[in-house]
Chain A
Amino acid sequence: MSSLKILKELLDYYYSPDDPGTAWISVFTPSELLTSMDLRCFYPENAAATLSGSNKNTALLDYSRSVGYSGNICSYALLYAARSKQTSKYRRVPEPGLLATANNQCGTLLYWWESFKKEYGLPVQFINYPKCEGEFSPEEIKYIDSQYVQLIEAAETRFGRRFNEKRLGAVMENSLRANKLWKEIQLLRKTSYIPPRVFTETLLPMVIAKGEARTGDYYEELLDEIKAEYSGNTLKKRILWLGYPFWFLKEKYPRLKDDAGIVMDIYTSHWILDYTGESMMDKLVNAYGKMFMNMSLDWKIKYVESIVSEYQIDGVITHLNKSCKRDSIALFLINQHLKEKRGLPALVVESDMANPDWYNSESIQLNIEAFLELL
């Protein structure tokens, strides 16, 4: 079966109108725990990114502002606040029976989920991750672990189901398989140029259906297809993209010149998670606690430096994203480090991942062209 066919099946399942019990969670919440209880996870961030790509994006943003939201909150939240105005496909999403989020990506999610709490009258299961310097201490692991247990208990009470460790084992197996394949696909970028839109277009199952068996099937097919199509593709100027793509652009990234291309990006690679650990809980602590955005700046710098050398990067473009402050500031400092300490050409582009009003196409294109000339 082609990857596209499997993807369609996955999406049909994801958007089907029946409600097996739905949890609204952020994209780096340990979804495996909920999937193992046969709950469906729905991701408002993902829905918002899709809305940003629709031709209604500015109308939705305007609507949210008109009902009293500040235009300066994260554009995902701003777009999603206008969901009552959305097209039928997304209106079918069942209301949440459980709300869960975490602070491993940003602080925004907590505030955003609190607005769901008020709307749906449900408590928020909030996972408070300590920032990770490299490894978690035993106390930190214990703290995260206890919050996972609280999440399970909340789901049990809410949906009247029992958590089953064996079932979690099966879901974890699926997740690990998908994770391994996604990593392999990313690694192909070391030797062959694969246009970055391939990764934004195929990321979705990693985000919304890690624990499904079909997700692994999908990536297995995809791996072969990508190898067949792009093997041996080369480029003269190899660019590393730091930060979010632009969901409202057709190609998701600005145009680069013919001899230059984004060979690696630190966004779709966030979904390569570190599932190491003895027990399943340990694996989940590491996977979500050590996701890129929750790591210390020193760790991030080392990680990006390793990408620069392994992927033979010639220059870096950093997207300073108005929506995403914590991430942007860290990426800016990494950009600064690579430029000043490593002498790598590095450019900063200011915009927003989901609000096209903040995308000044002309000036961004000009800056990028001038930058590429210098390489």
Chain B
Amino acid sequence: MNEYLTDTANIKNILLKHRASYAAYAGYFCSYFPSELLYGFNVHPVRIQGYSESLGQRRALINYICSYLADIMNAFESDHFSWADHLIVPATCDSLYGAKEYLERNIQGINVKMFRPPLKFDEGTYQFYKSSVEDVLEWMGSHYTFDDTALKRGVEMKNRMTTGISELLSSDEGLFKGAVYLKLMIARSVLPAPVFMCMLESMDKAVVGQNHNKAQTNLLVLGPICDNLDLIDYLNTDHNVITRFLTSTLGLHDCEVSLEGDVKDNLISHYFRRAGTVTSYDHYSKLISELDTEIMERSVKGVIYINYKYCEPHMFFSKSIKDHLEKNGVKMLYLELEHSGGIDASIQNHIDTFTENI
């Protein structure tokens, strides 16, 4: 599976190879926009992933933007995103807000659209969210024609991808299965369906299963989008890592969208309800209780919160979680890492000392 994901050039090449199957590619950030809607335009939505390889020095402007986006912005300037025709950027956090303004002004040949994610949950906000989605659709509609059947086909395909993951992992509600789960979820949000299904078929169920249960210490890893696969693999070497990357990997039950009735409406209300955990503090208590259950049921011994440098939502969020966990006697290690910094000896040391002490 790594061959599909670890090397940025691979994703780019895969996408370029399949270009003829789609009218266009639209990159998107975070999981707030009902990306499946784009299938209605025969546009393939590609979740923008960060890059583990360093793309050179941070530039002055992006010094204080989160390091995940800093790498992505560098990557835009160095041609890694040449496959992208459109870009949908939700105003989820201030870094993304700024990134949108920066990309729009500094990257040629790409259409950038801002999108308003829901920041709270009431009827007024739902209408506001819906009109923001419709605004994106209108913008897409000025380039391509919408077709309901194509939308249905796209959603169906995406649901099939979800079921495929679930079958491979023989998952009940056991959602958070370490490195493999995380990687599959990333692949699901990036690869064209035929490539993804092909990858899934080539994976050996037995090997995947084994891969999950080899170690004794259960660690729960929290944090924002984590595509630092090296780090996950490192953690998974000696420990059984249960990943729950708050804004990127949702449980599989959160991914299936109903095909009954108006699929467009289903998608919008589905995404509104499941909107990301960081901004939706209304969900905080739900999240905390899910965490507590997870910790108990899986005998989690410790929590590692991996944040990216200058990712402010998670700086605040991790503090709340830490306070909560400590009240319940669960230790948490908080790390703030450069996105492309890899895992050097000092980080390994931190992790090892932490795991030895739990």
Contact = CB atoms under 8 A, between A and B. Distances in A.
A321 B64 CA distance: 8
A147 B316 CA distance: 25
A107 interface: yes
B265 interface: no
Given A72-B309, A107-B94, A118 B315 contact: no
B60 interface: yes
B124 A147 contact: yes
A160 interface: no
A146 B124 CA distance: 8
Nearest to A103: B119
Contacts of A70: 307, 315, 318-319, 334, 336
A314 interface: no
Contact of A115 (B93, B119, B316): B316
B64 A320 contact: yes
Interface residues of A, number: 42
B323 A329 contact: no
Contacts of A146: 124
Nearest to A113: B281
A111 B317 contact: yes
A74 B315 CA distance: 10
B147 to A, nearest CB: 27
Contacts of B105: 297, 333, 336
Contacts of A128: 119-120, 125, 128
Interface string A333-365: 100100000000000101000000000000000
A241 interface: no
A87 to B, nearest CB: 25
B310 A325 contact: yes
Given A68-B319, A70-B318, A107-B313, A329 B65 contact: yes
A350 B98 contact: no
Contacts, number: 116
A153 interface: no
A130 interface: yes
Query: How many B residues touch the partner, as a band?
Result: 35 or more
Nearest to B95: A325
A217 to B, nearest CB: 38
A65 B131 CA distance: 41
Contact of A114 (B102, B104, B284, B315): B284
Interface in A13-28: none
A330 interface: yes
Given A114-B281, A146-B124, A320-B63, A107 B93 contact: yes
A111 B313 contact: yes
Contacts of A74: 312
B320 A115 contact: yes
B119 A126 contact: yes
Contacts of B296: none
A329 B98 contact: yes
A295 to B, nearest CB: 12
Given A68-B319, A110-B279, A320-B63, A131 B114 contact: yes
B114 A143 contact: no
A114 B317 CA distance: 9
Interface string B123-137: 011011001000000
A320 B62 CA distance: 10
B94 A325 contact: yes
Interface string B88-130: 0001111101110110110000000010100110001101100
Contacts of A114: 281, 284, 316, 320
A77 B284 CA distance: 20
Contact of B128 (A72, A110, A130): A130
A114 B334 CA distance: 20
B129 to A, nearest CB: 10
A40 interface: no
Contact of A322 (B64, B93, B98, B127): B64
B101 A111 contact: no
A332 B61 CA distance: 7
B80 interface: no
B322 interface: yes
Contacts of A333: 101-102, 105
Interface string A57-73: 00000000000111011
Contacts of B307: 70
A67 to B, nearest CB: 9
Contacts of B120: 126, 128
Interface string B17-61: 000000000000000000000000000000000000000000011
A297 B101 contact: yes
Given A107-B313, A325-B64, A68 B334 contact: yes
Contacts of A140: 128
A320 B281 contact: no
Interface in A77-118: 77, 103, 106-108, 110-112, 114-115, 117-118
Contacts of A73: 312, 315-316
A267 B116 CA distance: 26
Contacts of A111: 312-313, 316-317
Interface string A131-148: 100000001100100110
B312 A68 contact: no
Nearest to A70: B315
Given A68-B323, A108-B94, A126-B119, A329 B102 contact: yes
Nearest to B336: A70
B61 A143 contact: no
Nearest to B122: A150
A143 B281 contact: no
Interface string A156-185: 000000000000000000000000000000
B127 A348 contact: no
B316 A107 contact: no
Contact of A329 (B92, B101, B312): B101
Given A115-B316, A131-B114, A139-B128, 13 more contacts: A70-B315, A70-B334, A107-B97, A108-B94, A128-B119, A139-B127, A143-B125, A297-B101, A325-B97, A329-B101, A332-B60, A333-B102, A333-B105
13 contacts: A68-B323, A70-B334, A73-B316, A107-B93, A110-B119, A118-B320, A118-B323, A128-B128, A139-B128, A322-B64, A325-B94, A328-B64, A329-B61
